[in-house]
Amino acid sequence: MFVFTKTMEIKAGSVKDPYTGKSLIEPYNSMTNSNQIAVVKNIYQPLDSPAKKAGLKNNDEIIRIDNEAVSNFQMILEKISTSGDKKEKIITVKRGSRIIDFRIKPIINPDTGQSRIGIIPNPDWAYHASTKIAGFPDDSPAQKAGLKTGDRIIQINNKKINSCFDIVKYISARPGELLSISIERDNKKLSFPVKTINIKGKGRIQASFKNMIYISKSKNILFAVFDGFKEANDTIKKIIYGLKLMVTGKINMKKAIAGPVKIVNIIGEVTKTGGILMFFYITAFISIYLGFFNLLPIPALDGSYIIIFLFEMIFRTKLNYKYILVIQNIFLFIIIGLMLWVTSNDII
């Protein structure tokens, strides 16, 4: 079993940076409830941000994409992430009292397969941007200094902190500096000296934050079932898009595809950040993946047997199962080889 990792992570939270794929390095919330944006200078070096080149500015409010209304940043990502890099997208923004259309051609990150135009949500409008620490990667300076999972950062150098975006903004501007970080732990205020590390000219303390997910409004059971079918349909579209990128060689298969080991790690990360609801979400997501791939008309998968049975039923003739068995075995070995390759990439 394997999945396209970024298709999982776009819906599963912000444990990883949705633009760079880097793990647990002050991620911003891709699931914000606002459609106001902050324009990124660069997406994937050395390419400039398509949005910036086209003329989008900080605090522009995206209201339509290809003449379809969008109401939050999640919808913006959904409409752009699988659009490829061939056609321009018509991005309609509200800037003050003006409505302006921009034509922007997305670019594809070969490590993730996702299309991007170089925008992030406006931190001032972030939804559930908690300052409570969810976890640390290896060699985290914050963890080495004494910070723990569950600590809530309340001040940095005596400056009040209201959201994780305040933390990112303040720390990013201070690479290699010693900071005094005040946290709340068990109703006690504690302070720790933490020296930031320098990553591409930006300060980092290597910590992720909780509640970095989009919480939808409650609905009755009928609407929930309808939304479930819609989510499943959107997921299948992303799978097909990922297969297309894989066949055309536009993604780095080693980085963009996850095997069993990486899938378990992703499940652990999103569950730690989003709780039991995200665990059920990611489980359902993987079930859709398995069901879709199992129904593909590839020898050794159930989809091939369906094709065989339909052929025999329509033409009222029996195929030679001796040859079918040989073909099935050949493809079975190919699938096993693919699984071993993907698993080895997870480990190495």
| DSSP tag of 149 | T
Residues 6+ apart with CB under 8 A from 121: 28, 29, 30, 32, 34, 36, 37, 38, 73
Asked whether the beta carbons of 4 and 238 are under 8 A apart, the reply is yes
Q: How far apart are CA 300 and CA 318, in angstroms?
A: 19
Handedness of CA 59, 61, 62, 67 (dihedral sign): negative
Q: How far apart are CA 182 and CA 161, in angstroms?
A: 10
Same topology for domains 3-127+213-292 and 133-209, yes or no?
Answer: yes
CB atoms within 10 A of CB 168: 21
Task: Report the pLDDT value the prediction gives residue 90, as an integer from 0 to 100.
Answer: 93
Look up tokens 């898009």; give the residue. 241
Q: What is the CATH number of domain 133-209?
A: 2.30.42.10
The more confident residue out of 213 and 322 is 322
Which superfamily does CATH assign the domain made up of 3-127+213-292 to?
Answer: PDZ domain (2.30.42.10)
Domain range list for the chain = 3-127+213-292, 133-209, 295-347
Task: Report the pLDDT value the prediction gives residue 213, as an integer from 0 to 100.
Answer: 46
Mean pLDDT of 23-30: 34
pLDDT by residue (tens digit) across 268-312? 877 766 677 778 888 888 888 889 989 989 888 899 989 999 998
Ramachandran quadrant class, 167 (left: phi over 0; alpha: psi -120 to 50; beta: rest): alpha
pLDDT by residue (tens digit) across 310-334? 998 998 888 888 888 899 899 999 9
Tell me the pTM.
0.52
